[in-house]
Amino acid sequence: MSQRFGLVLACAIGFGAPVSAADLFGAIAFSPSTGKVGGGWNFASKEDASGEAVTQCGVGDCASVVVFPSCGAVAVGDGYGMGFSADGAAAKAEETALANCSGYTANCLITMSFCNDAQ
């Protein structure tokens, strides 16, 4: 079941109060052996967002590296060096992720960046 469908279904059939935008979480997972990333967004819990990100990453050593209520980004460079960030704005999250990555390696590029729907 997709994360959006699951969230809409839970609200539609009355599992608790409707989820407000401020209560949504996103996460990005990263595999240090392959550089692959995965993301999950618009989840009602940090755990569900992290779980979806790891699933979407799809590699055995994937782990959630950033969980956020607003926007997040991951940058990956040479040798799968990585940096991540969360912020209220996607551009700032990307800027900080690139700066963090550049502290470890060269040729860093944003590989995943997104905001929860309310952002």
pLDDT in tens, 38-94: 999 999 999 999 999 999 999 999 999 999 999 999 999 999 999 999 999 999 999
The domain locations on the chain are: 3-115
The pTM is what? 0.81
pLDDT tens profile 10-53: 333 334 444 455 689 999 999 999 999 999 999 999 999 999 99
pLDDT at 8: 34
Helix (H, G, I), strand (E, B) or coil at 19: coil
Query: For residue 114, which of 81, 83, 72 has the smallest C-alpha distance?
Result: 72
Strands (E), 3-81: 25-30, 37-43, 63-68, 71-76
pLDDT at 22: 64
Query: For residue 64, which of 100, 2, 56 has the smallest C-alpha distance?
Result: 56
